[in-house]
Structure 1
Amino acid sequence: MTHSSVLSSVKFALVAILCSTLINRGFGQKSGNLVPIKDDDADRSTLPTILIACLVRNKAHTLPYFLTTLENLDYPQDRIAIWIKSDHNEDNTTQILRTWGQEVQDWGLYHSVSIEIIDGPPFRQSDQETAFTWSSKRFQLIMRLKEEAVKVAKKIWADYIFFIDADVFLVNNQTLKNLVAKQKDLVAPMLLSGGMYSNFWGGMKDYYYVRSDNYKDILDSKITGCFDVPLIHSAVLMNIRKKNLPNYHPVSDEPEDDIIRFAVSAKAKGFTMEVCNDMEYGYVLSPMEDESSFNADNIRLQNLRVEIAVYWPDGLPVSDLLKQFVQQQNPPSTIGFDQTYLINLQRRPDRLQKMDHALEILGIDYTLIEAVDGTELTEETLEQLGIKQLEGYRDPFSQRLMTSGEIGCFLSHYKIWEHMVKFHVNTALILEDDVRFEPYFVYQVQRVFEETSNIFLDWDLIYLGRKRSQNAKEPWVENSQYLVHVDYSYWTLGYALTLRGAKKLLAANPLEKLVPVDEYFPIMFDKSNNMTWKMAYEKRDLKAFSVEPLLMYPTHYTNEPGYISDTERSSILFQPNCTLKRDEL
């Protein structure tokens, strides 16, 4: 992603992968395009053998990412057999599988590779209305192929079979090793989707999905471990050394659905299905509707890639060989704003890496603003800059003075406002570096600001992400579907600002009576809960609104694993009643 940087701061388990083209390969030299993970463990040859089975249909958009994460699994490849079946493709799935299959043949590192491709014409089964219709013949074929995979796995004396769908992305390369180590008969790694969908059911009644009381707690990892659930799918490891294995034959009157029949069979045969969330394993695309399209599913993949990017430094990787098959990215733009600014601390390159990747996927070109690092500020620096805390300010919760991190955060935003005024930037999108984006973020932003033009909204600031106050009264803007009149709010995760708004924020001389920036905004649009603070600012006419629902949220919340605050966990610099002079930043 191109961006400009300005304004430096104050300083074997044979794994059967059901997908289809028959290539049983011997050992040979790898070409070098795909570099397998180096085996460092001394006893890796004693690990169970796995057949990885994958069934693929019309997954050209996911395959480069899926196959790369498959390659990256930290498990001895000579103890993995690959078994892929692919059928009825209307996209580039066949070419991708053939290219990748030839490459892994050249590696000669896997125990065996079997990729069988069954293509048309005809490219659809006779009872399919669309490429994505889950018809009776499609379910019958899936169940027959999965039964075939189990027979192949047994024939080659595999210990386990790992069924995995081609829209599952195991970004944690320890997934397979960790699942095998649990020595369970039927187990799945819990997969995230960026929403409430996952690869397990918390409950089932009359063969229909039922949301259990603990489903969300498991999904959100509020409780962790391995949990007995009625159904798992999409990524399932099964111990095939057991006798009387679950299958896809009907037990009673269950529907003609592979995952339901398998779950019912498992229960009838006394097998326990478990889903594990003891670590972060990976992601899965939510299912498509029958009437969906290739483009719609590709956009959903983009949404998921953005979600992965803000949590995993490498995002969703693609091998050099498979990059040629990655579908075209969005061309970079500022999505309708004159400028998009990204604030990042120089000592937090991890956040910059994640945000840069996410914004590249979104197609957002940005200007990097090196944040003012509060840890480098001193009382002398504040005095030279003429910065003074607002007399009487205390944090509403802890009753402390402002921290150095809060001061640095304010100055970082302040630099952007100054830059907007100096270079006549009429509209800007301002982003902090610890945010996650809602699906279809760019489309939703553009829709909001198209509406502001259509209803002739007179605005200075529009929140895209914030923390609402509990008792907020926020009526809808007249004739708007997406905007509300904003009440007292916290956080400055992301907001849009006009040139007029920037001028108002600067004209109030906030450095002479400083408060945290997320307290400053409500003061300026006259919604602060503290009358004393408001009175320190005579002109409070910032025209502020918020999108509803919000379009961005923090990546982590207080007390969650991975939560780090660069503002709250910093020292106090101000002394009560200190008086300093103001100079230029």
Structure 2
Amino acid sequence: MDSRKTTLLACLGVISIAVIMSFTFNQEKNKEGPHDYVTIAILAKDKAHTLPLYLSCIEQQTWPAHKSYLYIRTNNNNDDTLNVLRQWVERVGHNYAGVHFDASDLETPVQNYGQHEWNAVRFKILGKIRQDSIDFAHKNQSHYFVVDCDNFIQPKTIENLMQTNLPITAPLLRVAEPSFYGNCHAAIDQNGYYADSPHYYDILLRKVKGLIEVPVVHCSYLIRHDILDKISYDDNSFRYEYVIFSDSARKHNIPQYLDNRELYGRITFTENKGDFEKEPWIYEFQSPKEQIPFGSTSIRNGNLRKDKDGIGISGEGSTAENTKSL
């Protein structure tokens, strides 16, 4: 038996252990070629209230599960995040090419910080966690897709991004109106942070549509395998980890693109189930098999509602902006 084929479910059944690290591989692995696979990074902390919908979005991706690795990292939770993830992997993990599950807590007591209480220490830790997931994808010769656990994507997201064959591509995501917050920057300041730009609103509101080159993408994005070894989330500058990531790409002349041909999904800042269930866009996910388009007619409180075409927002840990050749 291949030594990599350890028994995931046996490990997951022992919930009291501090570290859950295991691999299970689909027998069809690598028939299509080593670079036809995608690692989906699920990095979760205190997200039990969003995980059921989030994991449903992952499960519904049209990109084949048997060509996807799941990289799951969770730590220092104050809620039921670990159990939600464990039960989901027990149910669907066998469908995927491989599963890596690490639930070891960090020595730094990050559980004492609020969900959106960010500082240099937390960003450095998050950068290390993200870098580990990148390294896993590179080691397994796969492309890399990360979608933060407060992001919710439509079924064709990974498939559409893969078809672009671009180095780094992010799907347009948005927060509920009237906020103007998205998962990219159209302009940046000298330190790599958001700078206001009129192009941002053209992109966010989809007045300009396409695959638009921008200086920063964040929250959810696909990275092509051949550039993974050039990506970094920590340069000892103590900046936000997403700023360092985008800066590392720019320094290697690797373009970043926002795909706003469609509105691909939503982002929430809610920190509990009650507030999350009040999000006005929740109803867009009620009939996933019908694949109701984001930003189109959807059902809310029993009434038909027409969203404003393309008007959106999105993001966390940064702001949204994108630029075509504007």
Structure 2 match to 1:257 = 240
Which of 142, 161, 166 is the aligned partner of 1:179? 161
Q: Partners of 2:148 and 2:86 in 1: how far apart?
A: 18
State the Cα RMSD in Å.
2.9
Q: Work out whether 1:302 is the aligned partner of 2:263.
A: no
Structure 1 match to 2:103 = 117
CA shift for structure 1 position 123: 9.0
Which of 186, 195, 204 is the aligned partner of 1:202? 186
Q: Partners of 1:98 and 1:60 in 2: how far apart?
A: 12
Where do 1:26-425 residues align within 5 Å? 26-27=25-26, 45=32, 48-105=36-93, 108-119=94-105, 124-125=109-110, 128-158=112-142, 160-170=143-153, 172-194=154-176, 195-207=179-191, 208-242=193-227, 244-250=229-235, 254-286=237-269, 294-295=271-272, 298-304=273-279, 306-309=280-283, 311=284, 314=287, 354-355=298-299, 358-359=300-301
SS of the residue aligned with 1:96? helix
- After superposition, the Cα gap between the structure-2 partners of 1:243 and 1:141, relative to the gap in structure 1 and judged at 3 Å, is closer
What TM-score do the two structures reach when normalised by structure 1? 0.44
- After superposition, the Cα gap between the structure-2 partners of 1:260 and 1:110, relative to the gap in structure 1 and judged at 3 Å, is same
CA shift for structure 1 position 434: 3.7
Which string of whole-angstrom CA distances, capped at 9 and with x for unpartnered residues, describes residues 329-373 of structure 1?
Answer: xxxxxxxxxxxxxxxxxxxxx97xx43xx327xxxxxxxxxxxxx
Q: Partners of 2:126 and 2:113 in 1: how far apart?
A: 18
Amino acid at match of 2:76: H
Amino acid at match of 2:161: L
- After superposition, the Cα gap between the structure-2 partners of 1:214 and 1:21, relative to the gap in structure 1 and judged at 3 Å, is farther
**Contact 1:65/1:316 (<8 A) preserved:** no
Q: Partners of 2:132 and 2:100 in 1: how far apart?
A: 13
- After superposition, the Cα gap between the structure-2 partners of 1:181 and 1:193, relative to the gap in structure 1 and judged at 3 Å, is same
**Contact 1:51/1:82 (<8 A) preserved:** yes
- After superposition, the Cα gap between the structure-2 partners of 1:104 and 1:301, relative to the gap in structure 1 and judged at 3 Å, is same
- After superposition, the Cα gap between the structure-2 partners of 1:101 and 1:255, relative to the gap in structure 1 and judged at 3 Å, is same
SS of the residue aligned with 2:122? helix
Identical-residue share of aligned pairs (%): 22
Amino acid at match of 2:118: W
- After superposition, the Cα gap between the structure-2 partners of 1:81 and 1:259, relative to the gap in structure 1 and judged at 3 Å, is same
Where do 1:403-482 residues align within 5 Å? 433-435=303-305
- After superposition, the Cα gap between the structure-2 partners of 1:199 and 1:556, relative to the gap in structure 1 and judged at 3 Å, is closer
**Contact 1:124/1:131 (<8 A) preserved:** no
SS of the residue aligned with 1:227? strand
SS of the residue aligned with 2:126? helix
Which string of whole-angstrom CA distances, capped at 9 and with x for unpartnered residues, describes residues 78-117 of structure 1?
Answer: 1100001001100110110111111123xx2211011211
SS of the residue aligned with 1:89? coil
Q: Partners of 2:289 and 2:64 in 1: how far apart?
A: 22
CA shift for structure 1 position 51: 0.7
CA shift for structure 1 position 302: 2.5
**Contact 1:21/1:98 (<8 A) preserved:** no
CA shift for structure 1 position 192: 1.4
Which string of whole-angstrom CA distances, capped at 9 and with x for unpartnered residues, describes residues 389-424 of structure 1?
Answer: xxxxxxxxxxxxxxxxxxxxxxxxxxxxxxxxxxxx
Stretches of structure 1 that go unaligned for 5 or more consecutive residues are 1-19, 29-43, 289-293, 318-349, 361-432, 436-554, 562-585
Moved over 4 A (4+): 44-47
SS of the residue aligned with 1:267? helix
Amino acid at match of 1:23: S
- After superposition, the Cα gap between the structure-2 partners of 1:61 and 1:161, relative to the gap in structure 1 and judged at 3 Å, is same
Q: Partners of 1:243 and 1:113 in 2: how far apart?
A: 20
Amino acid at match of 1:261: I
Q: Partners of 1:556 and 1:63 in 2: how far apart?
A: 25
**Contact 1:97/1:115 (<8 A) preserved:** no
SS of the residue aligned with 2:23? coil
Amino acid at match of 1:114: H
Amino acid at match of 2:276: L
CA shift for structure 1 position 152: 1.4
Q: Partners of 1:169 and 1:146 in 2: how far apart?
A: 19
CA shift for structure 1 position 312: 5.9
**Contact 2:120/2:238 (<8 A) preserved:** no
Q: Partners of 1:232 and 1:132 in 2: how far apart?
A: 19
Query: How many residues are paired up?
Result: 280
Stretches of structure 2 that go unaligned for 5 or more consecutive residues are 1-18, 291-295, 311-326
Q: Partners of 1:303 and 1:197 in 2: how far apart?
A: 19
Q: Partners of 1:244 and 1:96 in 2: how far apart?
A: 32
What TM-score do the two structures reach when normalised by structure 2? 0.77
SS of the residue aligned with 1:55? strand
Q: Partners of 2:113 and 2:156 in 1: how far apart?
A: 40
Amino acid at match of 2:67: R
